[in-house]
Homo-oligomer: A and B are copies of this chain.
Amino acid sequence: MFKVNDNYLKLPGSYLFSTIGKKVKAYQEAHPDKEIIRLGIGDVTQPLAPVIIQALHKAVDEMGDAATFHGYAPDLGYEFLRNAIAKNDYADRGCQIGADEIFVSDGAKCDSGNIQEIFSVDNKIAVCDPVYPVYVDTNVMAGRTGVYDPSSETWSDVIYMPCTAENDFVPELPKETPDLIYLCFPNNPTGSAITKEQLQVWVDYANKVGAVIIYDAAYEAYISEENVPHSIYECQGARTCAIELRSFSKNAGFTGTRLGFTVVPKDLKSGEVSLHSLWARRHGTKYNGAPYIVQKAGEAVYSPEGKEQLRNQVAYYMNNARVIKEGLQEAGYTVAGGVNAPYIWLKTPDKMTSWEFFDFLLEKGNVVGTPGSGFGPSGEGYFRLTAFGSYENTVAALERIKKL
């Protein structure tokens, strides 16, 4: 008689954004006349840039001709894309990352969920609190997190590193030594950044204690300040302790087009075993490559026109971030983020819980955001708004919030 993976049954509730989706759907069905503005899920709204659309059309035409048709992609991704990534995202920033250390995938969510597979189930993870739920949930599914305590909403075998106003949303080194450390900067959900000196402390620590940092840099395109690293490989020694996850979702609007990549340096080893070879084995066995047409679209992101068009797209969203941040401040809210990231992290008013504020904002303002507590216990009393809406909707949402 077959048995299920019991670890799945330990997961409390459903995936955060599914819950939000259901609540919003129920409200909309009960109030069909209300026009809801969604600043909740981190989904982009601007169309793909013209140069990307051109590249897609060209690649589609190639797929329609036997002479230029493309079947299975190379395991690690097409060289044209991996070379463009190696040059633009790494060499041009002074990072030594080879094209053969880059694994093209269908997005950072999948990679951030799958990467834990190549590690022992005995390994102990450390996560920021609050944190993108996928890091913890996928470790729960793997049986790495121990017992859940519903009262504190924490797992017994997870090291939580609080990120609060007190530490400017950058965690301190944990007291207990972890094996895997998930860091995401610019941060989702708090919108905070880490300086190069602060990140160097983490790299030195990981090398010292023999931990691996899984560095999620999905939002690096939104960095506006000097001395904020775009890649962890800007730090000395990161090649022996860090895996980096990157996405095309937020810098190029690929949330519905699906493309990302993971960097596993060949210097990252456990004894004689290189993590690069394990991840290559997983990629080759359980994955079959991103679509050719999408990889061609990814290549266009690095063209001169692509860079110019996407700089404007990022600027559009960051202008929304400014509108949200300034609007909230005018309305008397305490806010963080929004300078190097497309997320604004606000303190809920009147000691409301995060979900109370979610309901309040949905019902009174018809604006959807994300409850901070959905990202972890230290997110309680906070709330996330995203800059990924249209400018018009963002302005309208802030007008509504100011009137509450």
Contacts and interface: CB of A to CB of B under 8 A. Distances in A.
Contacts of A8: 118, 278, 281-282
Interface in A288-312: 288-294
Interface in A1-19: 1-6, 8-9, 11, 14-15, 18
Contact of A2 (B61, B119, B121, B288): B119
Interface stretch (A46-54, A152-160, A189-197, A358-366): A46-54
Interface stretch (A104-112, A161-169, A319-327): A104-112
Interface in A247-297: 253, 255-258, 270, 273, 275, 278, 281-282, 284-294
A284 B119 CA distance: 22
A121 to B, nearest CB: 8
Nearest to A212: B2
Given A3-B270, A46-B69, A141-B282, 14 more contacts: A1-B179, A3-B119, A5-B118, A15-B281, A18-B284, A45-B69, A47-B63, A53-B64, A57-B60, A113-B286, A117-B141, A138-B285, A257-B292, A258-B289
A342 to B, nearest CB: 14
Nearest to A46: B66
B110 A288 contact: yes
A390 interface: yes
A113 B114 CA distance: 12
A100 interface: no
Contacts of A11: 281
Contacts of A56: 60, 63, 293
Interface stretch (A70-78, A81-89, A226-234, A396-404): A70-78
Contacts of A106: 106, 258, 288
B278 A4 contact: yes
Interface string A201-231: 0000000011110000000000000000000
A286 to B, nearest CB: 4
A53 B57 contact: no
B63 A45 contact: no
A286 B60 CA distance: 28
B14 A281 contact: yes
A137 interface: yes
B3 A120 contact: yes
Interface string A119-132: 11111000000000
A249 B179 CA distance: 39
A73 B256 contact: yes
A124 to B, nearest CB: 9
Contacts of A6: 120
Given A291-B291, A293-B293, A120 B5 contact: yes
A41 interface: yes
Contact of A15 (B18, B255, B284): B284
A119 B4 contact: yes
A60 to B, nearest CB: 4
